[in-house]
Amino acid sequence: MKKQKRNNKKSSSKSKIAKIIELKCDKSPFCPVKRVCPTGAVERAGFFMGKITINDEKCIGCGKCIQVCPHNAVSF
């Protein structure tokens, strides 16, 4: 039997990182995307109507944010 080589890529090279489409986002203070993120990657500048961003360092690409966004403002 031949041994197969595996590509051991470092975890820092992530292929799936969520992004916010600002034109679709309503910037709600009760954002469901922020509430469901297991790593806290969804961040807001200020409390009310602040810009919502996704921290690339914290995002694990699970897709929960995409499933719960009512405005389809999150994508990979």
Q: What is the pLDDT along the chain (76 residues), one digit of tens a residue?
A: 555 544 444 444 456 899 999 999 998 888 899 999 999 999 988 777 788 899 999 999 999 999 999 999 999 8
Residue 69: which of 27, 39, 41 has the closest Cα?
A: 27
Say if 28 falls within a structural domain.
Answer: yes
Q: What is the pLDDT of residues 39-55, one digit of tens each?
A: 999 998 877 778 889 99
Residues 3 and 31: their CA atoms lie apart, in Å, by 49
Residues 10 and 19: their CA atoms lie apart, in Å, by 22
Say if 49 falls within a structural domain.
Answer: yes
Domains: count for the chain:
1
- A 10 A CB-CB count for 21 gives 12
Say if 67 falls within a structural domain.
Answer: yes
Q: What CATH number is attached to the domain comprising 24? A: 3.30.70.20
Q: pTM value?
A: 0.69
Helix spans in 8-73 (H): 32-36, 64-68
Say if 13 falls within a structural domain.
Answer: no
Say if 70 falls within a structural domain.
Answer: yes
